Amino acid sequence: MSASENTLALQHIDAEHHLHPFTNTRELNARGVRIIESAQGVYLRDTEGNRILDGMSGLWCVAVGHGRQDIIDAVSKQLSQLTFYNTFFNTSHPPVIELSRLLSTVTPSQFNRFFYTGSGSESNDTIFRLARYYWELMGEPEKQIFVGRENGYHGSTVAAASLGGFSSMHRQGGLPIPGIVHAPQPFWWGNGGDMDPDTFGRHVAQQTLQMIDEIGAHKVAAMIAEPIQGAGGVIVPPRTYWPELAAGLKQRNVLLISDEVICGFGRTGEWFGCELMGIEPDFMTLAKGITSGYVPMGAVAVSDRIASVLLEQGGEFAHGYTYSGHPAACAAAIKNLQILQSEKLVERVRDDIGPYLQAKWRALTEHPMIGEAVMEGLIGSFQFTSDKAARSTFPAEAKIGLTARDLSFQNGLVLRAVGDRMVIAPPFCLTHAEADELIEKVQRVIELTYAHARGLGLIA
Ligand code: PXG
């Protein structure tokens, strides 16, 4: 069978039997799905033999790069020794014990206890229950309301999707569930109007605190936010936003949940995004980079302040997943964390490859169609604009971002589109030469998209 016959056969079966996440499967089936067959380092290979630079680390997760034999061996060894045992009913096992110890050493000092899940979504649903339970134990059962943010993403399970601020998700399945409100996002380029970024950052923080005051802080359990919004388009808040917001939450005794599913484990050049922003959360949501995606895993980091109340005043927390602390996932996470430490990959993101890529990335704004280009560590985005000075966007029907995404794939680079914002989060092992290749490809995609937009008469 030729490569294209093989692709067609696989596409046919996929179309017949597979429902894809966040996908219009009818449209996908009409087009034919792309099939990724193997990957090594920062490169993917599809069934047509195309080599594609993985600018998205799989889906923001493969931090150490694809195909590391040491992680594969660690998982394999663990599976041979103890394939599965649960962590309920008075039992534990060595890999989950070692991972918990290791996490307490890499997370900020207030975090010393960890609850395990299978994903970021499950972690956020866990926090939703834990935070309410905490306030009940504290004798403040009225503190029930959660504050999320517009265009925040916290997962697809019922509480997580409700905490998130994607209206497209809320429209399906009767979400959000009660007890959740959404504050504005600190997206200066899109929403800042005439304000300078610092004024806007303080303004959005104050709007959020005002929302809480209107509800009554005695009814508000917690606020959840990503240090840098990921799936919402890599929105880096103005530097004034976090200090103002975090101080206001503390004053009002509202817990802060830092959703570190994307920002955590070195992505921003610090171990955790909250450290980059200088904030001290009560909970952290962990997933993705915890295992570099080699095996699914999520976790909740619980601060000492919360844990002491749960342990001293609480009883059984009636919550848990079959795969809470799965031995193979723990083995992958341990080896992954050891690699981050021994190869100094977080420092590499902060001091070497991060700044190297950032300089070239920020220079993309020299192009007339690029409104802003931001990057912290190795997480970045750029914004297509029809008019730079007016910061105006293209009509949604023009699908500029999706066009750019497809052009990018065709040119051997995975870029993700969020509306007309293109986002990137490459593996930490990216070399300088690979970063140069990435930028050359991005420049080509921008030129092609520019020609496309001009052809449509969308830009002068
Ligand atoms: N929180 C954040 C900040 C996330 O980015 C989740 C929670 C949920 O994690 P799980 O493991 O349940 O998926 C995420 C996930 C995208 C995209 O297209 C982003 C995510 C997932 C799927 C697609 O950018 N982030």
Give a three-class secondary structure readout of 284-337: EEECHHHCCCCCCCEEEEEEHHHHHHHHHHCCCCCCCCCCCCCHHHHHHHHHHH
Q: Give the integer Cα–Cα distance in Å for 394 and 99.
A: 47
Strand partners, 40: 43
Q: Give the residue-averaged pLDDT of 215-225.
A: 98
Q: Give the residue-averaged pLDDT of 12-22.
A: 97
Q: Give the residue-averaged pLDDT of 159-179.
A: 97
Own/partner contacts of 104-109, CB < 8 Å, gap of 24 or more, are 106/265, 106/271, 106/337, 106/340, 106/341, 107/271, 107/272, 107/284, 107/301, 108/272, 108/274, 108/275, 108/280
φ/ψ of 181, rounded to 5, equals -120, 160
H-type alpha helices, 138-230 = 158-163, 167-170, 188-191, 197-215
Provide the b/e sequence for 327-337 (b: ≥16 CB within 10 Å).
Answer: bbbbbbbbbbb
Q: Does pLDDT of 114 surpass 80?
A: yes
233's CB contacts (< 8 A; 6+ apart) are 151, 187, 381, 418, 419, 421, 423
Confidence of residue 426 (pLDDT cuts 50, 70, 90): very high
**Residue 262 alpha carbon to ligand 1 centre in Å:** 7
Specify the residue with its C-alpha closest to ligand 1, atom 18.
231
**Residue 330 alpha carbon to ligand 1 centre in Å:** 20
CB-count exposure of residue 368 (10 Å: 0-12, 13-18, 19+): middle
Strand, helix or coil for residue 436: helix
- Contact predicate 274/280, CB 8 Å: yes
Q: Give the residue-averaged pLDDT of 382-398.
A: 96
Q: Does pLDDT of 285 surpass 90?
A: yes
Q: Does pLDDT of 126 surpass 90?
A: yes
Q: Give the integer Cα–Cα distance in Å for 340 and 330.
A: 15
Q: Does pLDDT of 107 surpass 80?
A: yes
Q: Does pLDDT of 306 surpass 80?
A: yes
User: What letter does residue 45 receive in the DSSP assignment?
Assistant: E
**Residue 61 alpha carbon to ligand 1 centre in Å:** 9
Confidence of residue 460 (pLDDT cuts 50, 70, 90): confident
Q: Of the residues 22, 60, 126, 166, which should be mutated to test ligand 1's pocket, given the most ligand atoms within 8 Å of the CB?
A: 60
For residue 355, the model assigns a pLDDT of: 98
Domains belonging to the chain, first-starting first, are: 34-64+346-455 (3.90.1150.10), 69-342 (3.40.640.10)
Q: Give the residue-averaged pLDDT of 167-186.
A: 97
Quick one: tokens of 12?
Answer: 């046919």
Q: Give the integer Cα–Cα distance in Å for 102 and 270.
A: 17
Q: Give the residue-averaged pLDDT of 367-385.
A: 98
Q: Which percentage of the chain shows pLDDT scores above 70?
A: 100
- Is the four-CA dihedral 149, 152, 156, 157 of positive or negative sign? negative
- Contact predicate 217/243, CB 8 Å: no
User: What letter does residue 397 receive in the DSSP assignment?
Assistant: G
For residue 384, the model assigns a pLDDT of: 98
**Residue 121 alpha carbon to ligand 1 centre in Å:** 7
- The whole-chain average pLDDT of the chain stands at 97
For residue 189, the model assigns a pLDDT of: 98
For residue 172, the model assigns a pLDDT of: 96
Q: Give the residue-averaged pLDDT of 355-359.
A: 98
* pTM of the shown model: 0.98
Q: Give the residue-averaged pLDDT of 92-100.
A: 98
For residue 1, the model assigns a pLDDT of: 86
Q: Give the residue-averaged pLDDT of 424-451.
A: 98
Pocket of ligand 1 (CB under 6 A): 59, 119-121, 124, 153-155, 226, 230-231, 259, 261-262, 285, 287, 298, 416
Q: Give the residue-averaged pLDDT of 303-323.
A: 97
For residue 260, the model assigns a pLDDT of: 99
Q: Give the residue-averaged pLDDT of 217-221.
A: 98
How large is the C-alpha radius of gyration of the chain? 22
User: Which whole-number Å values give the CA distances from 168 to 21, 86, 150, 153, in the listed order?
Assistant: 14, 36, 11, 12
Q: Give the integer Cα–Cα distance in Å for 219 and 442.
A: 47
